[in-house]
Amino acid sequence: MIRVLFGIGEGGFVPASTVTVAEAFPRGERARAKSLVIGASFLGSAVGSSAIAALVHTHGWRYAYHVFGLVGIVVAVVLWLAIKRAPRRRKLAGKLAFRAVFRSPMLRKTMLIFFFSNVVYVALISWMPSFLVKTRHIDILHAGLASAGPYLVAFVCLNIVGWMLDKVGHGRERLFMTCGACAVVVFFALMAFATSLPSLLVLWTLCLVGYTVIYGTVFAIPLKHMSDASVGSAAGIINFGGQVAAAIAPAMVGMLVNLTPGSYVWAYSALLVAGMAALLVSLTWRTESVFH
């Protein structure tokens, strides 16, 4: 029940932040703004993976929940005070807007691309620390510290992607997503052959860089190609695909690992197939304008 409530609270962030960006920025600057907003999750992961590891190491796992629960309350208060009231804008009827937006092939494929790429990403972030502990025999504190580096690189790369989408990316979103999916597949595949911790971390980082290209692009698409009245619905639909992936990926990896205890072969293969699916859907993606 607590996890369901957490999901309800988290689920509103993407559509609300997308609408906020649409209200505050012209189309030529929105990809950069959105990349900065969603890139904060990588900064949070970098700080959180290190801080949680340290808190668990010194005080136990329950203490970490208390600390970060307090952080969430502080952030809520800051947002309430900092976000200004938005100007009035044209609204569409809820059912009409959602149905019309969801009928867009561009949007449905964007949701699928995010779903498949998020299967890989969420499985990696939930599996990698335990993988480092179990197979590389690294204690949880150093596993958390090792996880921080790739997230910091991903934050920088995501903001570069946002800048590129604003400057040269309009109408080239398929190229961005295809290149990102290619990078995810190639570097994830190469991780199977890593023989040392540094090489594994480098490949993990490069795989995350590919993911940032997809991540930044899928959430820039509504801001670039859809009317301001429908960007919230569109972002919510895209995020739904990613959240479904986040729900099933850790369970899927756990189930596949249990099939062959001590081996990650089946889990690894399933994630590689998901990355290839993201690549195939990216190749078929076509741009269109919805409610312009």
The mean pLDDT value of the chain amounts to 85
Of residues 263 and 120, the one with the higher pLDDT is 120
**Do residues 205 and 211 touch, judged by C-beta distance below 8 A?**
no
The string of pLDDT tens digits covering residues 50-81 is 777 778 778 888 888 888 889 889 988 998 89
Classified as helix, coil or strand, 53 is helix
Q: Write the CB contacts of 94 (distance below 8 Å, at least 6 apart in sequence).
A: none
**Does pLDDT of 129 surpass 80?**
no
**Does pLDDT of 291 surpass 60?**
no
**Does pLDDT of 275 surpass 90?**
yes
**Does pLDDT of 96 surpass 60?**
no
Q: Which CATH number fits domain 2-284: 3.90.1150.10, 1.10.10.10, 1.10.510.10, 1.20.1250.20?
A: 1.20.1250.20
Full-model pTM: 0.85
Of residues 113 and 199, the one with the higher pLDDT is 113
- Which class for 27: exposed (0-12), middle (13-18), buried (19 or more C-beta within 10 A)? middle
Task: Give the pLDDT score at 124.
Answer: 83
Task: Say how many Å lie between the first and final Cα of the chain, rounded.
Answer: 40
Per-residue confidence at 273, pLDDT binned at 50, 70, 90? very high
**Does pLDDT of 289 surpass 70?**
no
Task: Give the pLDDT score at 181.
Answer: 97
Task: Give the pLDDT score at 146.
Answer: 65
**Does pLDDT of 127 surpass 80?**
no
Structure tokens at 13: 């962030």
Place of tokens 């993911």: 211
Task: Give the pLDDT score at 133.
Answer: 58
Calculate what percentage of the chain has a pLDDT beyond 70: 87
Per-residue confidence at 270, pLDDT binned at 50, 70, 90? very high
**Do residues 61 and 199 touch, judged by C-beta distance below 8 A?**
no
Residue ranges of alpha helices (H) inside the chain are 2-11, 13-24, 30-59, 61-82, 94-102, 105-135, 140-168, 173-190, 197-225, 231-259, 265-284
